Amino acid sequence: MNRPYVIINCAMSLDAKIASPSGKQIRISCDKDIKRMYELRNSSDAVVVGINTVLSDDPKLTVKEKYVKNPKNPIRIILDTKCKTPTDALVVNNSAKTIIAVSKECNKKYKNNVEILNCKTKNNIIDLEDFLDKIYKKGIKKLMVEGGSQIITNFIKEGLVDDLFIYIGSVLIGGKNTPSLISKINKNIKLNLVKIEKIGSGILVHYKL
């Protein structure tokens, strides 16, 4: 299998939470880390999130000129097995090309910048190896994974990650059912620590898998 270079980038609280107890996105990163995130996004060929992130946060997945001069918006990709992406979601606007990876034909009508990519499934979700092989053939050589929890977990569990960047903010969120960085894996996964760096009020940890 050929695949892009895969980078996971995420921010979590000190107790490993990535959202509010209600599941809504909250700001954890400081301004300096947000700038780093946008620079990484700008340098990537594509950025991918899962359908739950689209439905809960309605992200644009573009690059803000406030943080990057002359930004280059990457291709936006949604892992959406059942094609639930709303036709009016911000991620399918005209700001950049969007790919929606689905398991079967999607009958929804999207704008001309949206491509439907049919992928194999494994355990009722998009088969990541098949997905990565298909987007590699489309010229995507560097992929940034931004979430959510299940997508991050699946990439790590399948051993399909090259770099893992975790910004740990100086905040505690709590809540038994609050979304965490990693969901159930059922095995220990060894990480290789590359660097720890203080950024603002938090720290950035860089691992290789």
Write down the pLDDT at residue 194. Answer: 98
Q: Which two tokens stand for residue 63?
A: 């690059």
Q: Which two tokens stand for residue 62?
A: 């573009």
Q: Are 7 and 145 in contact (CB under 8 A)?
A: yes
Q: Write 54-58 long-range contacts (CB < 8 A, 24+).
A: 54/78, 54/80, 54/85, 54/86, 54/89, 54/91, 55/84, 55/86, 56/19, 56/23, 56/24, 56/25, 56/148, 57/24, 57/25, 58/89, 58/90, 58/91
Sign of CA dihedral 30, 149, 155, 140: negative
Q: What residue spans define the domains of the chain?
A: 5-208
CATH architecture of 5-208: 3-Layer(aba) Sandwich (3.40)
The bridge status of strand 125-126 relative to strand 202-208 is unpaired
Write down the pLDDT at residue 168. Answer: 98
pLDDT tens digits in sequence order for the chain, 209 residues long: 799 999 999 999 999 999 888 878 889 999 999 999 999 999 999 999 999 999 999 999 999 999 999 999 999 999 999 999 999 999 999 999 999 999 987 889 999 999 999 999 998 899 999 999 999 999 999 999 998 899 999 999 999 999 999 999 999 999 988 999 998 887 889 999 999 999 999 999 999 99
Q: Cα(119)–Cα(122) distance, rounded to whole angstroms?
A: 10
Q: Cα(3)–Cα(196) distance, rounded to whole angstroms?
A: 27
Per DSSP, 102 falls in state E
Q: What is the residue type of 63? A: V
Write down the pLDDT at residue 145. Answer: 98
pTM of the predicted model as reported, rounded to 2 decimal places: 0.95
